[in-house]
Amino acid sequence: MNFILESLQVLVLCLWYNFESFVRLFIPAKRKNVAGEVVLISGAGRGIGRLMAQEFASLGAVLVLWDIDQEGMKETSRLAQERGAPRVYHYLCDCSDKAEVYSTADQTYKAFLPAMIANNHGHLVTIASSAGLIGVNGLADYCASKFAAVGFAESVGLELLATGKDGIKTTIVCPYFINTGMFDGCQTKWPTLLPVLEPEYVAKKIVQAILTDQVYLLMPRGMYFCAALKNLLPMKQSILLGQYLGAFNVMDSFRGHTKKLQ
Ligand SMILES: NC(=O)c1ccc[n+]([C@@H]2O[C@H](COP(=O)([O-])OP(=O)(O)OC[C@H]3O[C@@H](n4cnc5c(N)ncnc54)[C@H](O)[C@@H]3O)[C@@H](O)[C@H]2O)c1
């Protein structure tokens, strides 16, 4: 295909995809059925993992729960059964690795991807963070692992697309602070602009994104704007806006979980 023809084709498709996204604002995408599907959730002993387990339970999914907190998992399992999960399995499993967090994802994907590829069916969900898109003062180690998780998930998603495995979907979740206790004590300077998110809201949005094959989910909505501006604005202006949004002092009063994780 020559340059003019190919460029024209891309232009028309760009317009079409923009129109499609605009229509999607008013007519939500069809939700897929996950009844009977196996949903594996790591970190299911509390917080977002537990809430997602409950959401998927009510949709009839078979649940496999992983966590280092046996008691927490038992409770999640009980709650999931109460919500109608046909089967729930839970395993004491330490998902951390001596190296970076992304290598855990790497190993998990290596374990499950071959079967997904063979069936051209599945969905990879990465719970990253807005700290995986924008660096945060005082969170260098966390940001490093979350940037890695985003890069890894994005690349695996593209590899699958490039090899024609379009039956395997990817969802990358980047929330701002969530009120689960993990970031207890952290302050948000302008709560109207960047509110601390409620866990139930986050879990519902994640499940909705998975069911509609949404690739990126940033929360709150203002994060889409912040992430785009970061790469567009002059550096000095980005820093000024970061300061204005409180990014420099966000960790000053960090306490984290008051109840120590086992
Ligand atoms: N809470 C927030 O503000 C926030 C914001 C953005 C992203 N996130 C991300 O969302 C995810 C869930 O966060 P949350 O707030 O629900 O956390 P949480 O602390 O409430 O729950 C985390 C769960 O993971 C389990 N866990 C911890 N280490 C583990 C290990 N090595 N192996 C297996 N299980 C382990 C814990 O036992 C716990 O049940 C995390 O990946 C977190 O980084 C959280």
Considering 17, 89, 102, 142, which one is annotated as catalytic?
A: 142
Q: How far is CA 233 from CA 156, 195, 246, in A?
A: 29, 23, 18
| pLDDT tens over the chain, length 262 residues | 799 999 999 999 999 999 999 999 999 899 999 999 999 999 999 999 999 999 999 999 999 999 999 999 999 999 999 999 999 999 999 987 545 555 666 777 878 999 999 999 999 999 999 999 999 999 999 999 999 999 999 999 999 999 999 999 999 999 999 999 999 999 899 999 899 999 999 999 999 999 999 999 999 999 999 999 999 999 999 999 999 988 889 999 999 987 554 4
Active site residue 89: no
Task: Tell me if residue 59 falls in helix, strand or coil.
Answer: coil
| Closest-lying ligand 1 atom to the alpha carbon of residue 96 | 31
pTM equals 0.93
Distance (Å, rounded) from C-alpha 213 to C-alpha 13? 20
Pocket lining: 46 vs ligand 1, CB cutoff 6 Å: yes
Q: What residue ranges in the chain does DSSP mark as E strands?
A: 38-42, 62-67, 88-92, 122-127, 168-175, 216-219
Contact status, residue 197 vs residue 47, Cβ threshold 8 Å:
no
Pocket lining: 178 vs ligand 1, CB cutoff 6 Å: yes
Strand ranges of the sheet holding 88-92, from the earlier edge strand across to the other edge:
38-42, 62-67, 88-92
Contact status, residue 175 vs residue 128, Cβ threshold 8 Å:
no
Pocket lining: 220 vs ligand 1, CB cutoff 6 Å: no
What domains sit in the chain, N to C, each tagged with a CATH number?
Answer: 33-95 (3.40.50.720), 97-262 (3.40.50.720)
